Chain A
Amino acid sequence: MIRVSREKKTAFLAIPALVFFIFFFIVPIFTLLALAFNPKALGSIAIQPVFTLDNFKLFFSFPIYRQSLFNSLWLASAATAVCLLVGYPVAYTIARTPSKRVQAFLVILVFSSMQIDLTVRIFGYLTILGDNGLINGTLIRAGILSRRLPLMYNSFGAIVGLVNLSLPFLILPLIGIIESISPDLLNVARLLGCNRWKGFLKVELPLSLPGIITGVLFAFAISMSSYLIPVLLGGWGSAVLPVYVYQQISNQGLWQRGSAFAVVLLLTNLIVVFALIRYYSRAYTRRLMAA
């Protein structure tokens, strides 16, 4: 009884967040969904009482749009894979650093790139990856290369940018999970006959799975919905879906089509996220119970 009244008393604290959430998230999402199923109307965002699948039909009938969805999936998957390969050793090292002070410093270091605005970071990459940038310029001047390496305006450039964007979000949840795995488990595995590497594979890696999945979830969702990086670093050769969402709305003034494209992007993202969460919950219940 006391508990109920206490909950009632504190419930009002959630109201500001709720109001914000309703007006700036729920309402736009429903507007987006409604528009996606409306016939195209140039420059109008008024919801019409007409239901149509035309926008979706259009999306799937043009190879260029289908390709953009594929590009998005491929770039996000590749960037996530690179993040995992690069991020796991970093997270592992930080998690197993005995000094808490050094650990805190390393975590700050991981997040330091986020102190700089994304656009600024991208322009930073232009100076590094560009045709006359740091890498190409140095290597050519040193006589190591005779021709420029294509580091930008292709998948490579996009992936580099996406990894930079999403890496911290993959590393952070991993650190916590790896830290929670008792070093004694590895020690016991060693005594039972595992070498260092095998002990990692058989004990630490499976136990860090919840952290891997959380990190992958973040990295994938962030990469998949990124617009600026694929455009500025990836070029038009590998245009991603958000580019066409932008194009439909900004260039063509067709909010309905743009909304439908956005819904496709959203659903694809959700499918991947839910698949991972399903897998995650199975791995995580076991892990949670063990703690």
Chain B
Amino acid sequence: MSIPSLKLVELTKSYGKLTVVSGVSVAVDKGDFFSMVGPSGSGKTTILRMIAGLTTPDSGSILLDGKEISGLPPERRGLGLVFQNYAVFPHLNVYDNVAFGLKLRKVSKRDTQGQVHDLLTRVGLLGYEKKYPHQLSGGEKQRVALARAVVPNPKVLLLDEPLSALDKKLREEMKFWLRSFQVDLATTTIYVTHDQSEALSLSDQVLVLNAGRVEQVGSPQEIYESPTSMFVADFMGLTNCFPGTAEATDGNQVQVRLTIGLNVTATMRHKPFEIGQPVNVFVKPEVISLTPKAAAPTKTVNSFEGSILQRSYEGALLRYKALVGEEQIDIYAINTSENRFDEGSEVRICLAPEGVVVISADESERTVE
């Protein structure tokens, strides 16, 4: 087994009585795009700053390529860092900004020119060498900051919400660009964000943080489709949560009796549930299909009758609030003619078992508290 590029062991940091990072252990593989996601105050930026050497951990260790670095000053860690506010040096032009790290390493002028030229080509800023930061747009500054961090060939690249200061359209473009840039470089990257969709779309691995603790680590698919806790499910934008009890298990399927009186069948992902165990059921709004009530049910499992309470027209997407019994349920549907229903119309609501997530209620109590 190869040594992970970066390993955090029981990392802890408190400010006074407030523990911001509590026993975080995680291993990041070489070349991975690793995201740390969580709401503000979850400790993600503090972890990043501890890796960078800008904040001293109270306890725990940080291993870079198997070597302890937590005692080293930031300049001797060999890491690259990009901040949310760009932090491009305003008194230096683009060339000098990008060449900053190379000049400190006493790289020859010719090599420096070559490497800066190469990086500026990659970030699409060739010909901008003589421009000063005040002449650049937000996106351009961000790419200068990225080129500057990458040019000394860091072992790990640390990105602290690098896209959040950009406007929405540019952010979407930069997201795709950043991912291909990172894949191209193959530099291990730690990405901090509070935006779960950014984390999901960019990463190889995602770490979900809650109040300084690790909630779940896994691939974007694992995190989104098989959240292990209420917190993760909630943070990943899963709505439609219903409490219930596990009634029966059959192979990899579990049947849950919801407190609202309905039976739901779901695919089991983690450990099996015991009969009678209290659980929470999440239904992803995008896996719910709608058909007119009059039409014959195509499936027998997870098929319910209901009515459309509210419709929100969002172009590509239609968002519904439907009423099943006494409960409201969110539904997202692609805007096609079959999926268009008026408010008040009676519908049949079908849930695909693989789109239903069941989480043990004991576990969820622990994390939600």
Which residues of A are at the interface with B, using a C-beta cutoff of 8 A?
182, 184-185, 187-196, 198, 202-203, 206-207, 286-287, 289-291
Contacts and interface: CB of A to CB of B under 8 A. Distances in A.
A184 B353 CA distance: 48
Contacts of A207: 90-91
Contacts of A187: 52, 54, 74, 81, 83, 87
Given A182-B85, A187-B87, A191-B75, A290 B133 contact: yes
Contacts of B81: 187-188, 191
Contacts of A198: 104
A247 to B, nearest CB: 47
Contacts of B100: 189, 192, 202
Interface string B73-110: 11101011101010101110000000011001100000
Contacts of B143: none
Chain B interface size, as a band, is: 20 to 34
Given A190-B54, A190-B73, A191-B149, A206 B104 contact: no
Contacts of A193: 75, 101, 104-105, 152
Contact of A191 (B74, B89, B133, B135): B74
A66 B53 CA distance: 58
Interface in B19-61: 52-54
B89 A203 contact: yes
Contact of A290 (B80, B134, B145, B158): B134
A194 B75 contact: yes
Contacts of A184: 83, 85, 87
Contact of A289 (B73, B87, B104, B134): B134
Contacts of B104: 192-194, 198
A286 B79 contact: no
Contacts of B134: 286, 289-290
B148 interface: yes
Contacts of A206: 91
B83 A192 contact: no
27 contacts: A182-B85, A184-B83, A185-B89, A187-B52, A187-B81, A187-B87, A188-B89, A188-B148, A189-B89, A190-B74, A191-B53, A191-B74, A191-B80, A191-B149, A192-B104, A192-B148, A192-B152, A193-B152, A194-B75, A198-B104, A289-B90, A289-B134, A289-B135, A290-B90, A290-B91, A290-B134, A291-B90
A254 B357 CA distance: 99
A207 B101 CA distance: 18
A196 B76 CA distance: 12
Contacts of A191: 52-53, 74-75, 77, 79-81, 149, 158
The 5 closest A-B pairs by CB, nearest first: A290-B90, A289-B134, A192-B101, A193-B104, A190-B74
Q: Taking each of B79, B85, B87, B145, which has the highest tally of chain A beta carbons within 10 Å of its own beta carbon?
A: B87
B128 interface: no
B304 interface: no
Nearest to B54: A187
A191 B133 CA distance: 20
A188 B101 CA distance: 10
In this complex, which of B52, B135, B158 has the most chain A Cβ atoms within 10 angstroms of its Cβ? B52
A189 B90 CA distance: 13
B75 A287 contact: no
B62 to A, nearest CB: 14
B132 interface: yes
Given A190-B75, A290-B91, 9 more contacts: A185-B89, A187-B87, A188-B81, A191-B79, A192-B148, A193-B75, A193-B104, A195-B73, A207-B91
Contacts of B132: 286, 289-290
B83 A188 contact: yes
Contacts of A190: 53-54, 73-75
Which among A188, A286, A287 has the highest number of chain B CB atoms within 10 Å? Answer: A188
A188 B149 CA distance: 8
Nearest to B49: A187
B72 to A, nearest CB: 11
